[in-house]
């Protein structure tokens, strides 16, 4: 379950009665879009149906039976959410907007590069400033992933940007290959790997282009700065870092 501070009220008024439930706002919006795939008990603040949630008043059981055909809260709660309205206070709306804005910046930073600077990643501060300059406001009632394209459209007149992936080959010396490769292979999609006759390890990984600096830092960390990396752009164009 979630805390009461995290929950919003979903309200359904029907048959002359009012039914309210306390639920995570993002989960409630997912249920209304029919794409919620989590555990209901993890996203509600109370396994209960209220007539007035702020006062803790409950509706009569015969009203529940008449409207929903059951008195079981876990069966009723999804119906209240799907058929009712999500009640969000100004503070909750502002908090959701701020959180989703941070998620948007993080998502863009992970995936975006600057095509005018040899596909270097954009730092988060630059994305923040560009979104502000573009006047882009994220909708707190919509998933972040559905707003990324609109954000990119708003950013393009402000900064050169595109989403991309990068493929990097990395070689770890024998002294660091055993422990280092286990951490490296978790960073992205491992395209291929090979153990060399001298005990060194070579791996080729693909990951969001905005994470290049993070990857190079990890490679240096696990090898005490002795790793060799190459950004593979195509078969004939290999850039050594």
CATH at 64: 3.30.1250.10
Last residue of a domain, one of 46, 66, 87: 87
Last residue of a domain, one of 38, 68, 87: 87
Domain shared by 131 and 182, yes or no: no
pLDDT tens digits, 42-77: 999 999 999 999 999 999 999 999 999 999 999 999
* 76 and 111 fall within a common domain: no
Stretch 32-51: mean pLDDT: 94
CATH number at residue 205: 3.30.70.240
What is the CB-side half-sphere exposure of residue 62 using CA atoms within 13 A? Answer: 1
Domain that holds residue 29: 4-87
Last residue of a domain, one of 139, 163, 187: 163
Looking at residue 119, what is its pLDDT? 86
Q: Give the N- to C-terminal CA distance of the chain in Å, as an integer.
A: 48
152 in the same domain as 170:
no
Residue 187 and residue 132 share a domain = no
Domain identity same for 148 and 178: no
Residue 156 has pLDDT above 90, yes or no: yes
What number is the average pLDDT over the span 98-121? 93
Q: In this structure, are 155 and 182 located in the same domain? A: no
Report the domain count for the chain: 3
Which residues 6+ apart lie within 8 Å of 162 measured at CB? Answer: 112, 113, 115
| pTM of the predicted model as reported, rounded to 2 decimal places | 0.71
The confidence band for 80, taking pLDDT boundaries of 50, 70 and 90, is very high
Does 176 share its domain with 227?
Answer: yes
Q: Examine the domain organization and report whether 10 and 71 are in the same domain.
A: yes
Residues 51 and 79 in one domain: yes
pLDDT of residue 56: 94
Reported as a single tens digit per residue, the pLDDT across 197-210 is: 999 999 999 999 99
pLDDT band at 241 (very low <50, low <70, confident <90, very high): very low
Residue 203, beta-bridge partner list: 170, 193
Alpha-carbon distance 2 to 40, whole Å?
11
Q: How many CB atoms lie within 10 A of CB 196?
A: 13
Contact 53, 42 (CB under 8 A): no
pLDDT tens digit sequence for 203-237: 999 999 999 999 999 999 999 999 999 999 764 44
């Amino acid at each position: 379950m979630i805390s009461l501070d995290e929950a919003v009220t979903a309200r359904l008024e029907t048959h002359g009665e009012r039914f309210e439930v306390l639920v995570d706002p993002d989960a409630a919006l997912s249920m209304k879009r029919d794409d919620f795939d989590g555990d209901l008990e993890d996203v509600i603040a109370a396994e209960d149906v209220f007539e007035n949630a702020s006062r803790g008043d409950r509706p009569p059981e015969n009203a529940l039976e008449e409207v929903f055909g059951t008195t079981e809260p876990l069966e009723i709660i999804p119906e209240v959410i799907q058929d009712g309205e999500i009640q969000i206070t100004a503070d909750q709306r502002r908090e959701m907007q701020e959180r989703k804005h941070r998620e948007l910046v993080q998502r863009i930073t992970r995936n975006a590069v600057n095509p005018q600077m040899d596909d270097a990643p954009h730092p988060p501060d630059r994305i923040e400033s560009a979104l502000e300059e573009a006047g882009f406001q994220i909708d707190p009632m919509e998933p972040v992933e559905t707003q990324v394209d609109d954000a990119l459209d708003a950013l393009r007149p402000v900064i050169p940007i595109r989403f991309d992936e990068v493929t990097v080959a990395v070689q770890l010396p024998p002294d660091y290959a055993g422990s280092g490769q286990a951490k490296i292979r978790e960073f992205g999609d491992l395209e291929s790997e090979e153990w060399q006759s001298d005990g060194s390890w070579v791996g080729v990984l693909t990951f969001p282009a905005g994470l290049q600096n993070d990857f190079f830092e990890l490679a240096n960390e696990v090898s005490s700065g002795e790793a060799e990396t190459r950004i593979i752009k195509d078969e004939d164009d290999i850039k050594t870092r």
